[in-house]
Structure 1
Amino acid sequence: MATEEKEKPKGGAARSRLIVRLGAFLVSHNLFVSVVCCIAGFIALLLLPVLAKNTYISENALMPGSANPAFSAQDVMEANRFVKDIIDQRTIEGTGIEIPRLVGQHMAGVGAEVYYHKFLPHKNQFHPLHFFSCTPNTVTVQNNSSCASFGVNSVGIIRAPRGDGKEAIVLVTPYNPWKIELSEALSLGLAFSIFSLLSQVSWLAKDVVWLAADSQFGEYTSVSAWLKDYHSPVFFSESRKMNVDVCHESNSHQDRNHITVKGENANAFRRAGTMAAALVLKVLEKKERQERDSLTIYAEASNGQMPNLDLINIVHYLAVHRQGLRVKIATIGSLLNSVWLRSVGEIVQRLCRVAKSLDPRWKYDITSADYVEGSATLASSMYHQAIGVPTGSHGAFRDYQVDAVTLELSPGFSLKNENSQSAFFLRGGRLIEGVIRSVNNLLEKFHQSFFLYFLTAPNKFVSVGVYMIAFALLIAPLPIVAVAPFSGKNEIRLSTDKGNQTPGYTCTDEIEISIGSWKWLHAAKVVFMTHLWAVIVLLLPYFMSQIPYISPTTSMLVWVAVATSALLILYLILGSPYSNDCEWVLLKSVMIAAAFIGLGLMSIINFSTAQIGALIVVPMCLIVRPLKRHKEVALCMRVMLMTCNLVLAVIGFPPTALLILKGLSEGFGRVGIGDFWVWAEFLWIWNSATYLYLLLVHLPCWALYVHILLHP
């Protein structure tokens, strides 16, 4: 026993020594490891369309298409009559609120519980404390609010005959009652016909809520306001309720104080059960003519959130295999005609053929055209997730953890062609009925399939277990390079002696960095100062937004001027970062550590933002070295390093990168200084975490990058 106890520490010591030796090997060859990992990360990112898998339905209880649709020609006739009533109503001047009343009357006519939801528009103002909050900025309801200052949602609820009222399915149709378009009338007509059908079926086990959302202040605003009151209601006094007798009928177009909304108990806010899923239904006529009707699916919500993949899968299955619709998702059109991407696609196609010839069981078979289209779709999916802004009003539901998508139906004919409307209504109605029937079969919330994924086609996806490999490879060198100056048992000598020179680190004077040394504190102080300056830059728009009547160009110039002044003041207070001739080595090390932590945290909040940010931040961290130090390497290497450093210095600065991208896509004649302010304002209004990443992670990294480049 004593002998065995003595042998155990030896094995543990051997294992620990193996780990130490492995770590020492990686650190001593950090340059080689960095190059290999970065190249592998970029290749893994390019191979994602090849690694995409076909979608499949994970939850067997959904059973899409297992029942014959009940939506018939009779329901189509009801849809046509409803559309005709709306078109006739819109020809009457000054009846903006009569259409919500008309929708409510038709809801009540099929036996639904009806009420009108009054809401006020959001107040678009930056506030740093509202980030990651699902409650948007809203205007406080005033007692003397006129009818012209608020919107009115018409809401109908069908109680399920087989349900207990604990779950519900939501159907949303946005429209502008003051300027209703034919496409909006068609979406309302289609939704009403489905709603009327569901009021008669016996298989319904979940309540159905139809929200006819007043979108005069924006589609997202109306849905978000209703969801806020649905989940966290505010009980106003009687004078603040929407009294249907307050507004009187009038032909005046400009005064909504003289319009009546009639309905029994229209003030009472009614609720159904917990929302199992939500569908936002829209009809939109495309400019280009199509051979057949199409369906476009929008799924991205705030900060990269996505609905459960099963919801998209059942929509795609029913649309393609039951209704014969052409299903599309967003793509980046410029990449479809890209020459370099087509060349990459041809190379990938040849490699896939070689791999298949080696082992037929490998199913990596993709054509060049499919690769280009998959890459364009993947880039669009990553971009919309990274920007952190919802692609439709379905994003309001994800803030409350409700799976939702926007279904945009586009007919292949002109909307004015009444003869083709019936077939379009029949296909659209049966599609929505099938989706609702599948969700109705669920005994619990969506949970079987993926929540973290990228789409490369309507029926292909890349799961989190695959696409995170590229990100892991990109950031893997960061901790290795960061710890390189502190490696060794006792000390590291950085000198000009070629025989005793650590790869990547040179300086004119010989210094020693021991493990117990505190020389890194000065570098940490510089990094802390830079991040403190970034926090100031982050908060500046909050104070600048209080200035009335200021143009985006002026705002941008003031932002830059104040930010530069703040940096100079911090230099005066905390001292210059160029106090030590060889300080850039430690400054680079601490900078890399801060960037690694920032990218890691951002990957938890919004993975797409971290993935795209790593493509720029990681090369900046690994390549950076003072420009004066380039004289110590060969001429060819010197030119390459200086070119890469200068290019990254330009591309890494967010305003410059945005202006270059916009100039290349839209022409430099349409680019202005205030464009970045408009874009930043767009991000902070939507509480996008991308705004925090740009100013708390990316901007400090770029500032430190420039510090090191200019280091003496």
Structure 2
Amino acid sequence: MGLLTNEHSRNRLIKLLLAHDTKLCCLSYIAGVVWFLALAYQPFNAGTYISENALLPGLVESELPPMFTSAFQIKDEIHTEVHRDKKLTPQAWIYKKFTETGLETYTHNFSLIYPFRSVKSQLVTGENVYSILRGRRAASTEALVLSIPLRPLMNVNKERPATHGGIALALALAKEFKRKPYWSKDIIFLFTDFDEIGTLAWLDAYHQTESEYIKANDLPARSGPIQAAVNLELPAEDVSYYNLLLEGLNGQLPNLDLVNLVVRLCRREHSQVAIHHSMEKRRHQFSDSKGESWSDFKLSLSTMLRMMWYQASGAPSGNHGMFHKFHIEALTVQGVVKKKGSHDDIITSARIVEGVFRSLNNLLERFHQSFFFYLLPSTNRYVSIGMYMPAFEAEEVLDKVKEHLQEAAKDDEFEEDEADVNNPANQSVLSIVPIVLVSLLLAWMAHQGPELLMRIMPRFRIHTEDMVIYSMLAIFTAALMYPKMMIRKSSNPFLVIDWRLLKSVALIGQTLALACVALLNISQAFFLAAFMVPVTCSVKPSKSRILRWIQMLALVMVSLLVLMYFVGLASAWPQASTLDLLFKGYANTKHLIFLGLMDAYLFNAWSEMIGTAVIFPLWLLFWAVPWVDPSL
């Protein structure tokens, strides 16, 4: 305690920390990053388990017919139907078939108002189809949803595969489920148009909420509160493995029990299951192998980073992400086709889906016992929030250490100059107020810029994506020049910029921002901290022009616009030549920024707001530090 209470000892400690602050900060940052990545190593994480005993996945036995010939017949029918016109989706055919089964079947119309005026047809209409199987043992007090997106053949690609097998499977299961007396929850078979847009329109109508740009008609019929949902994307061909998509809007994840349930039932059918196409070794999926080798660690780390990559975007990885917005646990199951290896036919897929819904039928309350915040290095291992938050705090402690050291250094200088009251270099809070205000103004322009562009865009014949990226580049260019313009106009000697105070304020803001983001989207906070923290903590005024330009270049490299370009390059890799890679990276960056903006308008995604209204103004504060004259 003497070290803390004795002023002389405390000053010695502060001076010692100031002398070695760079070494301590670098050590804490490296330790935090290594610790976080090491969590993918199997001895440092935990094995998955079912927390909700009511799910009873091991006791669910399939009651489907051994041959299940109706599924194959329906699959042939839907194949013929969708090939009649590759531009259309088969809503009429689905409505007719479900009506013939005796279920309540309805259509649901909605319209999308395009946010930007540059498009000639601002109104896009769509139609959903849904059918309700009423549970015999309940009075429509709870419901489960099986969702299948409708995609015309002409729009099918690798990221948005065909779902005709899922349509056939849903219709075949509806006929079988209707015969069973044990359903205590209603089952809703939902077929959505325009993927996430149609899903959100139906959910808005179901919960009687409204969106600004998605206008949905009222539903003619509904059930009770939805407990869980499964979005099924199954092709017509036999699948090689099942790919799970978990990430929802703003980085939300489904309850871990739902993920474990699907994985357990896939393994019961001896089917391979992956997370974002990261395949484990087959012996690890069906055994309790230790997985402590270097190759196993690399695979686990790759799987965890893939999941973090998708989660960091804040965009939903599938239609299931719209259910998270309404506190409904949901995930997407994709069937992936490969030429080589074993294949599972539609009967295997039907048994998995049947098992999931029969397990969910046992739920007595909402999912709550397992984790909502986690990372998955494999399908049978998890990293909980209690495991990764200490590692993230160790990575971010660099901000806190630097912040306190800046304050300590400022106090020391203040004591030395205290006798000279009239010293023109005495600095105050007022010296940094103009920089803070200009930073907030530029951030407001970046955040509200697209809204302002909507009013003038019809006058210019420029593509929407180009207009958005040009406006971002213009604001970024102005941001690069604002410190030089402000410092030149700071002629008052009593208002010389206190760079230590400015940096302390920026560090406090960065620490609070990253900590808040980490509670909601750990992946987004981790990647931001990994790139920004070491650069922002090391910037300071310098008499050396070379060192000052190096700091400025490093700050530009960790700016949001440049980081987005790096993301575009990573998504474009590989290309035939370096020039092709650079151009493709620019095109991807332009598209990613536009999609982030559309998600903000249509789905109320937070990534665009966090980037422009939180991270960007903080970066502007750091950008002003190297411009200050170090002699003042």
Q: Smaller-chain TM-score range?
A: 0.7 to 0.9
CA deviation after TM superposition for structure 1 residue 659, in Å: 2.9
Which among 334, 356, 360 is matched to residue 435 of structure 1?
356
Which among 375, 398, 407 is matched to residue 301 of structure 2?
375
Query: Is 1:653 aligned to 2:559, yes or no?
Result: yes
Instruction: Return the TM-score normalized by structure 2.
Output: 0.82
CA deviation after TM superposition for structure 1 residue 375, in Å: 1.2
The SS at the match of 1:695 is: helix
Name 1:360's counterpart in structure 2: none
Map 1:334-483; keep pairs closer than 5 Å: 366-411=292-337, 424-483=345-404
The SS at the match of 2:176 is: helix
Name 1:4's counterpart in structure 2: none
Tell me if the contact between 1:220 and 1:392 (Cα under 8 Å) persists in the aligned partners.
yes
Q: Distance in 2 between matches of 1:431 and 1:513?
A: 79
Which among 599, 604, 609 is matched to residue 686 of structure 1?
599
The SS at the match of 1:476 is: helix
Once the two structures are superposed, residues 139-187 of structure 1 have per-residue CA deviations (whole angstroms, 9 ceiling, x without a partner) of 88xxxxxxxx532222111111112211111001112368698953322
Tell me if the contact between 2:201 and 2:216 (Cα under 8 Å) persists in the aligned partners.
no
Which among 412, 435, 453 is matched to residue 492 of structure 1?
412
- Counting matched residue pairs gives 586
Name 2:34's counterpart in structure 1: 43
Which among 264, 272, 275 is matched to residue 317 of structure 1?
264
Q: Distance in 2 between matches of 1:707 and 1:156?
A: 59
Which among 408, 418, 438 is matched to residue 529 of structure 1?
438
CA deviation after TM superposition for structure 1 residue 29, in Å: 1.5
Tell me if the contact between 1:120 and 1:139 (Cα under 8 Å) persists in the aligned partners.
no
Map 1:570-585; keep pairs closer than 5 Å: 576=489, 583-585=498-500
Name 2:626's counterpart in structure 1: 709
Seq. identity, %: 24
Query: Is 1:270 aligned to 2:217, yes or no?
Result: no
Q: Distance in 1 between matches of 2:87 and 2:407?
A: 75
Query: Is 1:58 aligned to 2:5, yes or no?
Result: no
Name 1:328's counterpart in structure 2: 274
Tell me if the contact between 2:233 and 2:334 (Cα under 8 Å) persists in the aligned partners.
yes
Tell me if the contact between 1:191 and 1:281 (Cα under 8 Å) persists in the aligned partners.
no
The SS at the match of 2:137 is: coil
The SS at the match of 2:315 is: coil
Which among 230, 243, 250 is matched to residue 296 of structure 1?
243
CA deviation after TM superposition for structure 1 residue 92, in Å: 4.6
- Judged with a 3 Å threshold, the aligned counterparts in structure 2 of structure 1 residues 705 and 95 are, in CA distance, closer, same or farther, namely closer
Once the two structures are superposed, residues 383-425 of structure 1 have per-residue CA deviations (whole angstroms, 9 ceiling, x without a partner) of 11110000010111011110111111235569xxxxx99x611
Name 1:160's counterpart in structure 2: 135
The SS at the match of 1:649 is: helix
- Judged with a 3 Å threshold, the aligned counterparts in structure 2 of structure 1 residues 475 and 364 are, in CA distance, closer, same or farther, namely farther
Q: Distance in 1 between matches of 2:31 and 2:525?
A: 17
Corresponding letter in the other structure for 1:276: Q
Structure 2 portions without partners, runs of 5+:
281-288
CA deviation after TM superposition for structure 1 residue 90, in Å: 3.9
Q: Distance in 1 between matches of 2:401 and 2:274?
A: 43
- Judged with a 3 Å threshold, the aligned counterparts in structure 2 of structure 1 residues 153 and 177 are, in CA distance, closer, same or farther, namely farther
Structure 1 portions without partners, runs of 5+:
1-12, 127-137, 141-148, 235-239, 243-266, 337-362, 415-419, 501-506, 631-638
The SS at the match of 1:295 is: strand
Q: Distance in 1 between matches of 2:2 and 2:292?
A: 47
Tell me if the contact between 1:554 and 1:674 (Cα under 8 Å) persists in the aligned partners.
no
- Judged with a 3 Å threshold, the aligned counterparts in structure 2 of structure 1 residues 22 and 477 are, in CA distance, closer, same or farther, namely farther
Which among 64, 75, 81 is matched to residue 71 of structure 1?
64
- Judged with a 3 Å threshold, the aligned counterparts in structure 2 of structure 1 residues 479 and 653 are, in CA distance, closer, same or farther, namely same
Corresponding letter in the other structure for 1:606: N
Name 1:115's counterpart in structure 2: 106
Corresponding letter in the other structure for 1:655: L
- Judged with a 3 Å threshold, the aligned counterparts in structure 2 of structure 1 residues 701 and 404 are, in CA distance, closer, same or farther, namely same
Once the two structures are superposed, residues 554-591 of structure 1 have per-residue CA deviations (whole angstroms, 9 ceiling, x without a partner) of 54334433554588689878985696667322222222
Q: Distance in 2 between matches of 1:465 and 1:647?
A: 36
Tell me if the contact between 1:605 and 1:689 (Cα under 8 Å) persists in the aligned partners.
no
Which among 168, 171, 174 is matched to residue 149 of structure 2?
174
Instruction: Return the TM-score normalized by structure 1.
Output: 0.73
The SS at the match of 1:68 is: coil
Q: Distance in 2 between matches of 1:153 and 1:522?
A: 58
CA deviation after TM superposition for structure 1 residue 529, in Å: 2.6
Q: Distance in 1 between matches of 2:611 and 2:8?
A: 36
Which among 197, 205, 213 is matched to residue 221 of structure 1?
197
Q: Distance in 2 between matches of 1:307 and 1:513?
A: 62
Tell me if the contact between 1:331 and 1:376 (Cα under 8 Å) persists in the aligned partners.
no
Tell me if the contact between 1:165 and 1:272 (Cα under 8 Å) persists in the aligned partners.
yes
CA deviation after TM superposition for structure 1 residue 708, in Å: 1.8
Q: Distance in 1 between matches of 2:561 and 2:429?
A: 31
CA deviation after TM superposition for structure 1 residue 91, in Å: 5.1
Greater Cα offset, 522-531 or 559-568: 559-568
Name 1:257's counterpart in structure 2: none
Map 1:245-264; keep pairs closer than 5 Å: none
Tell me if the contact between 1:651 and 1:657 (Cα under 8 Å) persists in the aligned partners.
yes
Q: Distance in 2 between matches of 1:191 and 1:20?
A: 76
Tell me if the contact between 2:163 and 2:236 (Cα under 8 Å) persists in the aligned partners.
no
Name 2:501's counterpart in structure 1: 586
Corresponding letter in the other structure for 1:169: L
Tell me if the contact between 2:432 and 2:498 (Cα under 8 Å) persists in the aligned partners.
yes
Q: Distance in 2 between matches of 1:109 and 1:24?
A: 85
Name 1:84's counterpart in structure 2: 76
CA deviation after TM superposition for structure 1 residue 608, in Å: 2.0
Name 1:550's counterpart in structure 2: 462
Map 1:98-109; keep pairs closer than 5 Å: 99-109=90-100
Corresponding letter in the other structure for 1:82: I
Q: Distance in 2 between matches of 1:628 and 1:109?
A: 82
CA deviation after TM superposition for structure 1 residue 101, in Å: 2.5
Name 1:519's counterpart in structure 2: 428
Name 1:604's counterpart in structure 2: 519
Once the two structures are superposed, residues 610-645 of structure 1 have per-residue CA deviations (whole angstroms, 9 ceiling, x without a partner) of 221111222123211123269xxxxxxxx9x77973
Tell me if the contact between 1:72 and 1:426 (Cα under 8 Å) persists in the aligned partners.
no
CA deviation after TM superposition for structure 1 residue 329, in Å: 1.0
Query: Is 1:191 aligned to 2:170, yes or no?
Result: yes
CA deviation after TM superposition for structure 1 residue 442, in Å: 0.6
Greater Cα offset, 183-192 or 556-565: 556-565
- Judged with a 3 Å threshold, the aligned counterparts in structure 2 of structure 1 residues 39 and 84 are, in CA distance, closer, same or farther, namely closer
- Judged with a 3 Å threshold, the aligned counterparts in structure 2 of structure 1 residues 541 and 18 are, in CA distance, closer, same or farther, namely farther
Once the two structures are superposed, residues 4-51 of structure 1 have per-residue CA deviations (whole angstroms, 9 ceiling, x without a partner) of xxxxxxxxx999949998899478615154233212212212211022
- Judged with a 3 Å threshold, the aligned counterparts in structure 2 of structure 1 residues 486 and 184 are, in CA distance, closer, same or farther, namely closer
Corresponding letter in the other structure for 1:38: Y
- Judged with a 3 Å threshold, the aligned counterparts in structure 2 of structure 1 residues 233 and 553 are, in CA distance, closer, same or farther, namely closer
The SS at the match of 1:686 is: helix
Query: Is 1:540 aligned to 2:449, yes or no?
Result: yes
Once the two structures are superposed, residues 217-263 of structure 1 have per-residue CA deviations (whole angstroms, 9 ceiling, x without a partner) of x21111111111011168xxxxx999xxxxxxxxxxxxxxxxxxxxx
Greater Cα offset, 184-193 or 310-319: 184-193
- Judged with a 3 Å threshold, the aligned counterparts in structure 2 of structure 1 residues 569 and 90 are, in CA distance, closer, same or farther, namely closer
Q: Distance in 1 between matches of 2:379 and 2:149?
A: 24
- Judged with a 3 Å threshold, the aligned counterparts in structure 2 of structure 1 residues 566 and 52 are, in CA distance, closer, same or farther, namely closer
Tell me if the contact between 1:103 and 1:154 (Cα under 8 Å) persists in the aligned partners.
yes
The SS at the match of 1:201 is: coil
- Judged with a 3 Å threshold, the aligned counterparts in structure 2 of structure 1 residues 189 and 705 are, in CA distance, closer, same or farther, namely same
Tell me if the contact between 2:255 and 2:372 (Cα under 8 Å) persists in the aligned partners.
yes
Name 2:285's counterpart in structure 1: none
- Judged with a 3 Å threshold, the aligned counterparts in structure 2 of structure 1 residues 272 and 487 are, in CA distance, closer, same or farther, namely same
When the two chains are superposed, the root-mean-square deviation of aligned CA atoms in Å is 4.0
